[in-house]
Amino acid sequence: MSLPSMPSTPASSTSATPVVPTTVPVGAVSPQPAGSGRHTGINAATHLPEAEKRQLFGVAIDALTMEGAVDRLWSWINEAQSDARCRYVVTPNVDHAVLLQENPDLRAAYKDADLVLADGHPVVWASRLLGCPLPERVAGSELVPHLFDFFNRYGKLKVFLLGAAAGVAEVAAGNMLQQWPNVQTVGVYSPPLGFENDKVECANILTKIARCKPDVVVVGLGAPKQELWVHRHHRLIDAKVALCVGATIDFLAGEKQRAPYWMQRAGLEWAHRMCSEPKRLVRRYARDAWVFPQLVARQWIANARQAVAAEQQQFDQQSGKMAPQQPSPQHQQDAAQ
């Protein structure tokens, strides 16, 4: 994949630089960069290797860091488009992993996604436990501000905000303008309840996006609605990339607050969310807490069985080699003569 000629990210973009100025009330953005805290940026010599995939709970997750994901998006957004299709990104967390088991449409949406990023420490921990490690968590709500930050420094980006309650995306757009002047919100839309089953409304959304000509559509419709809608329409979305990122628009607007950093690090963001929306989330998290460990255990057992079978096969092959050679029929004939 060819990259545009870019200046290397200066040292100032390391962890010392907050992604978000403290004066801007953008709840979504943690001031600390993801994972290693390094964003070395892109330069002309950087090649984007096809990210390795990790098979977890029936999903192939890209083993990318936050930096790698931003690089990938930068490349897609800047490349001369080879086809009209809008690429899309999904960010599986524990809840998605559980939903996927029962929802073949969601599995298909995940299978066709162009980038699948692990949103949630438990997914990353499970990957390590299962011997197919993911480098770090790449939460959708962190990916978006990191992407904006990067484009704000090195380019320009046109964004369409799709989702959240009426009026929220407008507030998010105002905050974004203050924080990332080179990131232009070219359109916002909060679709009415039940829009996904209304063909006219879906066409209306596609027309709105097409009129605004964004590079990126930030889709905040909640899971699995956002993934299913984008999967169904991605060939018709007139943008380069769609990011399925849940409550990110609410976070950008300051409508919802993310968990404190220590809770995020400890993998307790779910607890923070559950306390802020107990009615909606208690049942969900209770189900996830019951099912997810079973998924991990099932995969662990399957891996162990596979390892034993592979060892057995190797043993059989070696013992086959050592077994005395049977004389061929030709040999037997020759010996008889």
Q: Max alpha carbon distance in the chain (Å)?
A: 99
Strands 87-90 and 183-189: unpaired
For position 232 contacting ligand UDP by CB under 6 A, the verdict is no
Least distance between ligand UDP and beta carbon 226 (Å): 7
Kindly state the smallest distance separating residue 222's Cβ from ligand UDP, in Å: 3
Contact call for residue 119 and ligand UDP (CB under 6 A) = no
The residue among 304, 290, 266, 260 whose CA lies nearest residue 122 is 266
Our CB check for ligand UDP shows the closer of 222 and 267 to be 222
What is the number of H-type helices and E-type strands within the chain? 13, 8
Q: Which stretch binds ligand UDP (CB under 6 A): 70-78, 104-112, 158-166, 179-187?
A: 158-166
Choice between 92 and 246, CB closer to ligand UDP: 246
Tokens describing residue 127? 């990957």
Interaction of residue 239 with ligand UDP, rule CB under 6 A = no
Q: Which is nearer to ligand UDP, 76 or 110 (CB)?
A: 110
Of 48-56, 72-80, 245-253, 321-329: span binding ligand UDP (CB under 6 A):
245-253
3-state helix, strand, coil in the chain (%, to 5): 50, 10, 40
Pick the binder of ligand UDP from 208, 225, 232, 272 (CB under 6 A): 225
Using CB under 6 A, which of 246, 252, 270, 296 touches ligand UDP?
246
Least distance in Å: CB of 40 to ligand UDP?
30
Q: What are phi and psi of 237, to 5 degrees?
A: -80, 120
**Interface with ligand UDP, residue 149, by CB under 6 A:** no
User: Total number of residues binding ligand UDP (CB under 6 A)?
Assistant: 14
Q: What are phi and psi of 48, to 5 degrees?
A: -100, 105
Closest distance to ligand UDP from the beta carbon of 189 (Å):
9
Residue closest to ligand UDP when measured from CB atoms? 246
Q: How far apart are alpha carbons 43 and 30 in whole angstroms?
A: 26
Write the burial class of residue 120 (CB in 10 Å: 0-12 exposed, 13-18 middle, 19+ buried). Answer: buried
Piece in contact with ligand UDP (CB under 6 A), picked from 84-92, 100-108, 246-254, 313-321: 246-254
What one-character-per-residue DSSP string does 167-223 give?
A: THHHHHHHHHHHH-TTEEEEEEE-PPTTGGG-HHHHHHHHHHHHHH--SEEEEES-T
Binding mask 204-223 for ligand UDP (x = CB under 6 A): ----------------xxxx
Q: Which is nearer to ligand UDP, 26 or 249 (CB)?
A: 249
For ligand UDP, give the closer residue by CB, 43 or 276: 276
Considering the complex, what minimum distance in angstroms separates the CB of residue 139 from ligand UDP?
11
Q: Both tokens of residue 129? A: 């436990």
Contacts of ligand UDP in 159-188 (CB under 6 A): 163-165
Nearer to ligand UDP, 74 or 251 (CB): 251
Amino acid at 76: W
C-alpha to C-alpha distance for 82 and 155, rounded to whole angstroms: 21
Q: Toward ligand UDP, which CB reaches closer, 51 or 94?
A: 94
Sorted by sequence, the CB contacts under 8 Å of residue 183 that are 6+ apart come out as 148, 151, 152, 156, 157, 159, 176, 177
Residues at the interface with ligand UDP (CB under 6 A): 163-165, 190, 193, 220-223, 225, 246-247, 249-250
